[in-house]
Amino acid sequence: MILQENREKHEHHGSSKTCKVCSSEYCHDCHPSVFGICEKCGYKILILLVCVMIVISYVAWYGVF
């Protein structure tokens, strides 16, 4: 149902692409992506990177002492 509503909302756009991570379709005109991933997956990857950076910083900090 949601996918059908999304297609109806973006019918005037001709460039729907498939996300490389989750294989869902997204409108490339509304949400352009250099890497070919949708907006949801982009946010998930950013959150994961922030968590990894925090863990690495704690490991480096406690490795000093």
Q: What is the pTM of this model?
A: 0.64
Q: How confident is the model at residue 1 (pLDDT cuts 50, 70, 90)?
A: very low
Given a cut of 70, whether residue 2 has pLDDT beyond it is: no
pLDDT digits (tens, 9 = 90+) for 5-64: 555 555 555 668 888 888 888 887 777 778 888 888 989 999 999 999 999 999 988 877
Tell me the C-alpha to C-alpha distance, in Å, between residue 20 and each of 9, 28, 34, 59, 62. 22, 13, 11, 32, 37
Domain ranges of the chain: 2-64
> Are the beta carbons of 18 and 25 closer than 8 angstroms?
yes
